[in-house]
Structure 1
Amino acid sequence: MVDSGQVSATLRLSVGEIRLAHPMTVPAGAVPATAVVPALQGLVNAVVEAAEQRARDMGKAVSCRKGCGACCRQLVPISRTEGERLLAVIEALPEERRAAVRARFAEAEATLARAGLGDVLLDPEKRAGKTDRELSAAYFALALPCPFLEEESCSIHPERPLVCREYLVTSPAELCAGPNQEGVAPLAVPKFSSSARKLQDDADTWFPLALLTAWSRTRSADRVMRTGPDWVQRFLRQLGSK
């Protein structure tokens, strides 16, 4: 259905044990990829809710709660598309809050540089010789809070990255702070977030959320425009290619 420049449809998906019929609304005309991020956020939310329900049916419960910010000290890989949207989120903040967030990003960048991780995490070629586990462990050892973390809670929760939405645990929350994540039981959720990495680029590209402002200084100025349905179809094709 097309209404006021937007297209609505029901997306039917079957991923593993999850069956989903999810309504989506996206711009009908040519837009940048960032314009369909809200629709992708809604889709991931629906997938996660279905995974949570399946866990409850099996007698398990998600233990994540507001104020438990251990996972907000993990390496959070985000896509170019989400990075561009988050930069706009920062710019839309009131001046005082925007300055505080930017200061925290600058502090995170300096911390990663001192640890010898800054250039490595921003350059895919320098990451080539290291496994994701090695990079994640080195990052987590720094106990570096996400620049959006305030009072142990996400200050941009409605706009949080897709990968953050997908990460929930059914084990005791206190285990998440352990250096080796021993005993942590993540909820089984299909990882739609990785499909966003190829939304604008053919390569599987990502960078750490904590280096968002550092990435912004060297990001590509290319601005591809597609219709909302075309962006969604491109996203879904990445799901099917896994």
Structure 2
Amino acid sequence: MTEAEFINLVLRKTKKGMSFIASVYKALSEVVEAQSQSQPQCFACHKGCSACCHQLVTSTEAEFDEIITYILSLPRRQRDTILNRARKRAAEYQQWLEQHQLTGTVITSAEKIIWANEYWDGKPCAFLDESGNCRVYPARPIDCRTYHSTSVCQNPTWSDVKRFVWPAETWANNLILEQGSKAQKFFGVVPLLHWLLIKSFKKSSPK
């Protein structure tokens, strides 16, 4: 498949009523599944294997909105459990920002990004449950979808981690960044915890 063919696949899905982000995710899943059958990769990733989820997981604003849309579609009890846990993690992030006088800012400098990543390395994503399962897996961002490991993730080394293994992963990432750059204000790719702090959202109807 070429990049142009991938883009056309995404556009066909948007015409069926899917959101742009969901269309990119769906197209990526289909292409990677097909390519992995013809070009098998020895990945050890499985449900509950969450070492790569213990860091500052990031997304664009549009990807975060897709996560919230997914959460709000869930039954009330499940939805509230996810949001309450996520808000607690966001409160911890807020406290950390205040301690380092970073409140109200988006960490953009390379030095501060490295510093923040080092501090939060090993700390679970706001959407990870006690069993190491992702509560928003169907709506997980590209940052998660492009992580692969060749060893069981107890304490993987960076040599075990593979990113953007298939060309479609790069195409999908580029499409999402291009779409985001068209927004009036585009903050780029920032921690999910940042979006949890600054975004407000309404609950869907009770279920």
TM-score by length of 2: 0.72
Instruction: Kindly state the Cα deviation for residue 144 of structure 1 after the two structures are TM-superposed.
Output: 2.8
Structure 2 CA distance for partners of 1:47 and 1:163, relative to 1, 3 Å: farther
- Residues 69-97 of structure 1, C-alpha deviations (whole Å, 9 max, x = no match): 11121222111111122222222221112
1:169 maps to 149
Q: Which amino acid is 1:163 matched to?
A: D
User: Residues 78 and 182 from structure 1, CA distance in 2 versus in 1: closer, same or farther, beyond 3 angstroms?
Assistant: closer
1:186 has 2:162 as partner: yes
Larger CA Rg, structure 1 vs 2? 1
RMSD between superposed Cα atoms in Å = 3.5
C-alpha spacing 1:68/1:86, structure 2 compared with 1 (3 Å): same
Q: Against the structure 1 CA distance between its residues 205 and 172, is the aligned structure 2 distance closer, same or farther, given a 3 Å change threshold?
A: same
Q: C-alpha offsets along residues 144-186 of structure 1, whole Å, 9 cap, x if unaligned?
A: 333243521112222221221111111342233xxxx454332
Output aligned runs, 1:80-229, within 5 Å. Answer: 80-116=61-97, 120=102, 123-124=105-106, 126-128=107-109, 130=111, 132-141=113-122, 143-176=123-156, 181-187=157-163, 188-189=165-166, 190-191=169-170, 192-202=172-182, 203=186, 205-217=188-200
Moved more, 202-211 or 157-166: 202-211
Of Structure 1 and Structure 2, the greater strand share is in 1
**Correspondences of 1:20-31 after superposition (within 5 Å):** 23-24=9-10, 25-28=12-15
- Taking the aligned partners of 2:194 and 2:136, their CA distance within structure 1 comes to 16
SS in 2 for 1:110: helix
How many pairs does the alignment contain? 192
Q: Is the 8 A contact 2:51 2:155 kept in 1?
A: no
Preserved CA contact (<8 Å) 1:69 1:152: yes
Amino-acid identity (%): 18
Deviation (angstroms), 1:138? 2.0
SS at match of 2:43: coil
